[in-house]
Amino acid sequence: MALSIRIESVSAGFNGKPAVRDLTFEAGAGKATVILGPSGSGKTTTLRIIAGLTRPDSGRVFIGDSLASGPGIIISPSRRRIGMVFQSLALWPHMTVEGNLKFVSDRTGRDGRIEKALSLVGLLDRRKNYPAELSGGEQQRVALARALVSEPEILLLDEPLASLDDALRRKMLDFMSDLRSRIGVTAVLVTHNREEALAFADSIVVMKDGCIRQQGSPSDIWNRPAGRFVASLLGENNLLDAEFVREGVVKTVLGEFKSPSGMTGKRVCAAIRPADLEIGPGGGARISGRVLGSAFRGGRYLVRIDVSGAEVAAESHNALREGEIVGLSLRRDPQVPEDV
Ligand code: ATP
């Protein structure tokens, strides 16, 4: 049975400097949770705390119903039922694939677990090969098999795909995601890559400066970002100055829109994805602007448009001429995140 992970008010630091502060979140049993954030935001420290490799200064970590880290308590990593894959892979070059898997635990040699783990990743026929005889993707799969060989309840993945090229990264991501849901293991993946996060996650924890900025499903985070930082993290977004002109109505350079809360006069920002802005003919349009330039983004163009002195980006199937006057309409109301 897969186990959940619960982090309660956890803080940790190094040499008196905080690395993570007051973290509270849950990684659901049998679900994929992604910790997403820029470099130095505390992602790896959080993963190491879950693994029992870093002791928190305060707070508690539960694995299932058991307290794994807390005041005066730290259960060792080997007793946490976890498997880990690191960015560096850390395969022993002088050992065969099979040897690398055997090395993690004496027990794994018995009862066919090595065969099972290698067949899960499709590498049973490469068991006698050395890591140098395998491709990057195959080495990645050996590292995954090694993490699974002890049949863990929890799989911790620390930027495992960062060293792969784009095409292989996507392939491995799909592979890992399918495998994870097939065996139903609880997984926590750390990444700074938004595509990886969106593709892998049932739930995303967004971190910045050692703190959690938002946790939710990929569509929650995409559609209802908690602030400017989260709004920009998952993809291009127009962040426009906005003001509540009356209760429940915000005004932006693109017009007035309904928004659930906000006192009159409150200044906020309104977030509109480029795909939610439709470009039409300029003549007679309610909102119009002047094209500043178009950039090809593969199958579509991102068009920069000046609207009354503010620059907005919209998507188009065609490149538009610089200086052309176009009309703009919104496919849906903008998001108005709390400005944090
Ligand atoms: P990256 O994506 O670059 O790996 P991250 O989000 O995983 O970054 P962490 O590695 O958790 O971030 O680091 C968070 C902060 O803690 C950083 O300021 C880092 O320098 C610091 N830190 C992490 N590990 C140690 C350590 N062993 N000793 C001292 N400082 C550390």
35 lines ligand 1 (CB under 6 A): no
Give the position, in ligand 1's atom list, of the atom nearest the Cα of 48.
11
At residue 203, the pLDDT reads: 97
Q: Please, which pLDDT band fits residue 18 given cuts at 50, 70 and 90?
A: very high
Q: How far apart are CA 122 and CA 114, in angstroms?
A: 12
Q: What is the mean pLDDT of residues 172-198?
A: 91
Determine the 3-state secondary structure of 148 from DSSP.
Answer: helix
Residue 299, Cβ neighbours under 10 Å: how many?
A: 7
For residue 340, is pLDDT > 50?
no
Q: How far apart are CA 303 and CA 295, in angstroms?
A: 6
304 alpha-carbon distance from chain centroid:
27
Query: Average pLDDT, whole number, for the chain?
Result: 89
Over residues 247-256, the pLDDT tens digits come to 888 899 998 8
Lowest mean pLDDT segment, chosen from 13-22, 108-117, 161-170, 267-276: 108-117
45 lines ligand 1 (CB under 6 A): yes
Mutate which of 44, 88, 211, 213 for ligand 1 pocket (most atoms within 8 A of beta carbon): 44
Q: What is the mean pLDDT of residues 222-238?
A: 88
Mutate which of 21, 41, 191 for ligand 1 pocket (most atoms within 8 A of beta carbon): 41
Over residues 93-137, the pLDDT tens digits come to 899 998 898 877 665 556 678 888 898 888 889 989 999 999 888
334 lines ligand 1 (CB under 6 A): no
pTM, full prediction: 0.87
Place of tokens 């080495």: 139
Q: Residue 338 to residues 194, 246, 333: CA-CA distances in angstroms?
A: 21, 17, 16
Q: Could you tell me the domains of the chain?
A: 5-228 (3.40.50.300), 229-330 (2.40.50.140)
Q: How far apart are CA 217 and CA 212, in angstroms?
A: 14
Q: What is the mean pLDDT of residues 204-214?
A: 97
Q: What is the mean pLDDT of residues 79-84?
A: 90
Percent of the chain scoring above 70 in pLDDT = 96
User: Cα of 39 to ligand 1 centre, how many Å?
Assistant: 8
Mutate which of 36, 45, 191 for ligand 1 pocket (most atoms within 8 A of beta carbon): 45
What is the per-residue burial (b if ≥16 Cβ within 10 Å, else e) of 118-140? bebbebbebbeebbeebeebbbb
Determine the 3-state secondary structure of 226 from DSSP.
Answer: coil
Long-range contacts of 240-249 (CB under 8 A, 24+ apart): 240/269, 240/270, 240/271, 240/272, 240/310, 240/312, 240/334, 241/267, 241/269, 241/310, 242/267, 242/268, 242/269, 242/270, 242/334, 242/336, 243/267, 243/268, 244/268
